[in-house]
Chain A
Amino acid sequence: DIQMTQSPSSLSASVGERVTITCRASQSISNYLNWYQQKPGKAPNLLIYAASSLQSGVPSRFSGSASGTDFTLTISSLQPEDFATYYCQQSYSTPLLTFGGGTKVEIK
């Protein structure tokens, strides 16, 4: 099975800060990596698909990139509504899909 390791598991940041979350795959997954945002008590929401494509309606401050088996989600300027938990998910081994453990972004 492909393991997805996210880091950090949590972080504290201030409004306006640049935030970077990393997801590492246990093997090559090409660019088959997606990112979701989940707020407390709510369903996840798709942010980025295919490593770097922004889902329609998602603010442009969110971006994704890839380098080998490392994937990065960047929030260029953190907004109050961005405090949430973020998950990566690989689809390379479809139909066996796996998520990272999540990164909780909290207010500093």
Chain B
Amino acid sequence: QVQLVESGGGVVQPGRSLRLSCAASGFTFSIYGMHWVRQAPGKGLEWVALISYDGSNKYYADSVKGRFTISRDNSKNTLYLQMNSLRVEDTAVYYCAKDRWAVVGPTTYFDYWGQGTLVTVSS
């Protein structure tokens, strides 16, 4: 069965960096787009970033553009999120989510999610 397992969360000071990982199994990782979605404590869901199946296309929410970088290693079935210049408002549970399709378009949706990893940005 499909499994997505995030890791790398923790407590970090404002301005510092953190890298999240998402280990995928149970499906052919290399043929699907992948996303990061976050949820601040007690708040709703916010899409963060998307990477195409081959890593050639990457997209970001305005709130993280220029600070976060999404990447993937298809040989390791792993998705990453490099987070730099972290802010207090980046505090959230970060979920990786599998896209239904290889080439993401308007019919896209998240068909599987990981359990999330908590990132706390605090001095």
Contacts and interface: CB of A to CB of B under 8 A. Distances in A.
The B interface is mostly helix, strand or loop, or mixed, namely loop
A95 interface: yes
Interface residues of A, number: 27
B104 interface: yes
A45 B112 CA distance: 7
Given A49-B100, A99-B44, A43 B109 contact: no
Contacts, number: 61
Main secondary structure of the interface of A (DSSP, over half): loop
A42 B93 CA distance: 10
5 contacts: A43-B114, A43-B115, A44-B95, A89-B110, A96-B59
Given A43-B95, A43-B113, A55-B111, A92 B106 contact: yes
B61 interface: yes
A96 B48 CA distance: 9
A102 B59 contact: no
B106 A94 contact: yes
B46 A95 contact: no
